[in-house]
Structure 1
């Protein structure tokens, strides 16, 4: 047994009590009875600090498994199965992802009461960023290059995967608002089917706020997005979602984790997200100088070595980066307002994440990072 009073990662780089109850051994035993080949269940050995679901490593007679639980308001069995289908395609095309277990009915997304579960084989390699908070910069140039190379491999593997767009907006990284000619009109068109988001926005002058935030970037971003071929993407390419051969600078990536945010977007969306996640120290935003151009360029070098980037690609990347997070920030607002009932967290998603991150790119440090990305092609020529 382990102490159930575990903490999860908060939005401000702190540790907080989880929004969702921890998995219990009784609950896990009931779930795993639906997968008879795993045998009797044992102790829960570790609980994930990630805040948007509950997850744990669990002992079984056949070895450890990773159990993850979602509330049905966040992921239905059908919407979880969308992730699993994409994972299956990537695995079949050479991307190392932990295999999923099926229950006695042949399903990998398992509904039980108000919850939906998935059971995976444990990841291979070393989870060296396991305790890293989201938006923590990658730990060095060589890790950044390795992450960029693996992301390019994933995009190559995703080519040819055809599936409808995700059936949910909640906690997925879509590019609907990013790619819209009129972002305010695009949000308005979705509010009828997104009541929690409508409830939150109804309390503020959101049209003026969103217009002001998007205005400096939307023209160039829209022009770039509309020329991009559609591709299913990872959506959360942070080094904490990768497992490594060891903790050294020369480590290689052994396993890729967590397609929970995946959706049909485009490759440069995923690459921009990777820069946003790994090369900007957002938790230190008050310091101003939070952009790590060296890490961003290393990510691009690794990507370019596998899937070459043109000068036009780099221009689009720099145009998209300041607002690449907008769709996901709105999905977090919706999640915190409607699912966890945390208006304070929804406020952070709206003010700090959606608006604050975009505003940083208009500062001198943000402009320097964008300029470095636009001119990264010169580095590729010298390689």
Structure 2
């Protein structure tokens, strides 16, 4: 039986609490289904600075190349020493150096979460390596120039290759769902950059004739999400717009603290919750771990497809059912109106997993 090697990067702030809770839950599900994981802890964030004087140590990146996938906890790069704050943050560094070009962020209503848009179930496919995020689209240098104390120029990079591959990823998923893709851009103003993105996505769309395609400007799209989120299925967009839209969508369907994501290429995948490190509640054992847990569910699905191993999908499904069962029963953390601590919530999920596995 293959043992899947999974990296564990706990990160900063609430990271160690929510990542540890996640690993415990997935260990329980894996045991029930006789799936073997080799959990490998690797330094990142403050731990990396303390051990290697680097928030994303070379050692960690080299070890990740030997992993089937990994969990990335949140980082608190805003608090790092100036010499590290000036570099790419750990998330951006891993996305860039490992070319994890697809950031996939679902937004789906859940039991116990107060959605302000009713029922919704959509996925945002965000191009993850270029656009206006200058720390990710330069081989060397930051991609910003301060011409005078009063003038700054920031570069945005758009390539046909990047647009093609994220578009294909989005359309392939659409074929498995409701066969609808929405392209989000700003081609009326950023005519060359996002115009290239829009036109390339439309070219890719011709290879998927069963999929219905529409497109919206980013500013209009924010209003459409608020008014009719349920109408959207797959949204594909460039880096910065995807970052903004996914945070909005996560909050609309319940809470950004519930929002999962994975970062992928053809060979690697990184589970990463959409929220930050919440240093104000770090160490209090009150953080909601659902975001990183559902991100790991997504990782299980990715691994299942890549390795043609249905049991990995079953592990993820068992955890997701355990989470939903707890929420329906009113067992939840304080941010959702409950009273469970992070560790208590994890233990409740583990108990539900045991009950579900017997059934």
TM-score (ref. length: structure 1): 0.28
Identify which of structures 1 and 2 has the higher relative contact order when contacts are C-alpha pairs closer than 8 Å and 6+ apart. Answer: 2
Q: Could you say which structure has the higher strand fraction?
A: 2
